[in-house]
Structure 1
Amino acid sequence: VLAAIAAAILLTGQTTESYLISGALLALAVGQAAAALIQDGRFRSFDSHEIERARNQHELSQSVGRLAERVSRAEDMLAGPERERTGAIANELHSLRETVSGLMREATYRPRMPDMAPPANQPTPEPARERLELLLEPIVELSSGKTEHYRALAQMTGGQGGPVDHDVLMAKADEGGLRGPLDLHLMRLALPVLRRLRQRHPALRIVVPIGRATLQSSGDLTRMVQVIDAERDVVAGLALAIAQDDLAVLSPAGIESVAILGHSGITFCLAASAPSGIDLALLRQIGIRFIDVAASSLGSAYHLPQDWSEFALHARAMQMQLIAGAVATGAQADLAAQGCRYAYGSAYAPPRKVRNDAGQPASAAATQAA
């Protein structure tokens, strides 16, 4: 601002006094700029030294204040006799120049502390980007102890708050209206891996979750059917898991979506279910072949409850496979072995993170690594 005022005086005034006044204002402007440079440099250098920063700021404020006082004295001299004004102002300007030069030298040559912050022009590392990763949780056949199928799980990594696990991620997607895109993306991640796994184990399946919002959206259903049609060679190994609570409140459009997916060759799994109130005959009609029951529903005794044993017998008679889910203890594993064919949970094996190139042929993965 002071520099702009000085320029205006130079343009409008043509006397020696005008040049002297403008010179004084310019000197003050340069002095303030130098003070700002020193202050900025010290702030950058001593970011972790609050006491030193406060002291430097106080000294700089005093220096600028003294410059302002000297310009005021130069202005007062203009009111004196004509003969004294020019010489006195010239002397004051000379002194101001020396002060400004000293400030500039201090800004240029002042030594920096050894533990100073890195120079501002050094690139700062970019924050890690969030990534949606595929995890596969083994589903173990209890009679043999071998992994026969997998559950597809999603995990968000790279954020500042740490990984976001599958259940939390799905709940957030439901709340935010993003369940359809998330389900479709997880399916796209799982299908190439499924293709490669079935080359060695043709009977293997991957159970992929699907939400109520996805089934009730015609747009999401259309995109999902397009993906399925493009992956016809592995559709037989894909099972879509619908939560029992979601299935119970499906709209007519959602029920129609289940039928369309069933005609496309998709097998379904009833997830998060409890034996009571399940109509096995109806479930079989809509294409459900697996029933995932929580291990906590198996009871706490050494033997399955009577109603649970009858349910397991009825399910096997209808060729529906029972999966004990979230088995965490040895006691739950023993109960699961009495009524279920499959099980998963921390009592068996943890979910495994899938590499980005896991679904590619070996030659393609090697090319990417190179």
Structure 2
Amino acid sequence: MNSKKRILILATGGTIASAPTNDGLAPRYGISQILGANSLLHNYYDLTMRDILQLDSSNIQIPEWQLIARAIYEERNNFAGIVVTHGTDTMAYTSSALAYMLRNINLPVVLTGSQFPVDVPLSDAHDNLQTALAMAASGVPGVFLAFNRQVILGTRAAKVRTLDFQAFESINCPPLAKINSAGLCFNQQVLQSVQKLRQANEPCTLRLELLPAAFLLKLTPAFNPELLDCLPGLGYKAVLLEAFGIGGINFLHANMLERIEKLLRSHIAVVVTSQCLYEQSSLKVYEVGRKLLDLGAIEAFDMVTEAAVTKLYYILGQAAKLNLTGSERLNFVRSCFRRNLAGEINLPPI
């Protein structure tokens, strides 16, 4: 009797699949070359491997997210877990998007990749695959990112290093699990929060509707707020503003508040987060933040930027599906941003 867990690996390209070309590294290897027939991992898992894309992750955007999500959804009842190999540059965006699109997923979906191509002697590819496969076989449903012997919630990951093997960190939430000499060891508090998100009696639903009508703006001193006047004409329905510190913006000299008020009157959602990677934003602390709240700005609290951007794409897509426009769409965005959909947010204590 075969007791090995059935795991599906979906390959999409990335550094893990790359080889040198005249123009630099580019994806060239399929998953059967990354994880050859002689790999010891076949002794522990019943592996099915498929190449569904062969792209640098900089080229993976909404159509590719939809393709990946559909492939996962179609196979969700045929395997114990699914691993997706992916380039590191946009992996955190993809993991967040998949977490929103695959609502109430019934098995572990684990993204991984590497900082070095698989055929480099010191590559981290095999180590990351081992971690991803262990998580895929764990039976814990959800979307996760596995890297450097850690497993991170898909909506809590951010790429923070370009060269180091610790490329990703779990932001404002401890890693779900770590690999050590005791095996795959879970943080029980994070595990319980993941389990609470899943509705046990509800089926998984695939929600492919994403609308990329959200503009990300990192505020800088002396920024010209007139730029915001261009956004409605370009079709944007929301702005994610990376404000200073805990949530400050300038209202002397070039007054941002006037332009933000104008956007909100046009029913364009303005979501405010912090430029700081760790801890939360709060618009209640300083005068500059309270002025934003008074205008009707929406707080992102402790969300990582990648999760906030993709959440806006997701919410705007659902609003379009419901034919919501104007104030109805704005209120829908406001309501959804206060809800924890996939582990992306903890409502703040301050």
Structure number, greater radius of gyration: 1
TM-score w.r.t. structure 1 length? 0.26
TM-score w.r.t. structure 2 length? 0.27
Whose helix fraction is larger, Structure 1's or Structure 2's? 1
